[in-house]
């Protein structure tokens, strides 16, 4: 069976860049708008809206984050070469 990763490494990087970009832009816009209107509440609302938008765009595993699937190693069958429990060396415990 193949493992389908929700995101690949490049997708994770893209999601992080989108998230940070939206947060930064919304913070700047929120600060400027709040400064002009002299209402700090608008700054908070705009930053919260930016956070909600960034969560919507980056948390679900959208197809744009899965364009570079990870290459997994094939499963190795150990077969009969497994060590029997009697073949193991006894563990030495430190004296306390």
For residue 52, give Cα distances in angstroms to 35, 47, 59.
Answer: 22, 9, 10
CA distance 45 to 25: 13
Question: What torsion, rounded to 10 degrees, do the Cα atoms 20, 23, 28, 34 define?
Answer: -170
For the purposes of burial, counting CB atoms within 10 Å of the CB of 63, is it exposed (0-12), middle (13-18) or buried (19 or more)? exposed
Q: What is the pLDDT along the chain (96 residues), one digit of tens a residue?
A: 455 556 688 989 999 999 999 999 999 999 999 999 999 999 999 999 999 999 999 998 888 888 888 888 888 887 655 555 555 566 666 665
Residue 88 is given by DSSP the state: S
pTM across the whole model: 0.66
């Amino acid at each position: 069976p193949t493992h389908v990763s929700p995101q690949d490494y490049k997708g994770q990087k893209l999601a992080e860049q989108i998230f940070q970009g939206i947060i930064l832009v919304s913070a700047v816009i929120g600060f400027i708008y709040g400064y002009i209107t002299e209402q700090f509440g608008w700054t908070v609302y705009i930053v919260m809206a930016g956070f909600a938008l960034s969560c919507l765009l980056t948390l679900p595993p959208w197809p744009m984050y899965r364009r570079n699937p990870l290459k997994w190693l094939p499963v190795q069958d150990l077969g009969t070469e497994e060590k029997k429990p009697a073949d193991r060396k006894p563990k030495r415990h430190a004296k306390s």
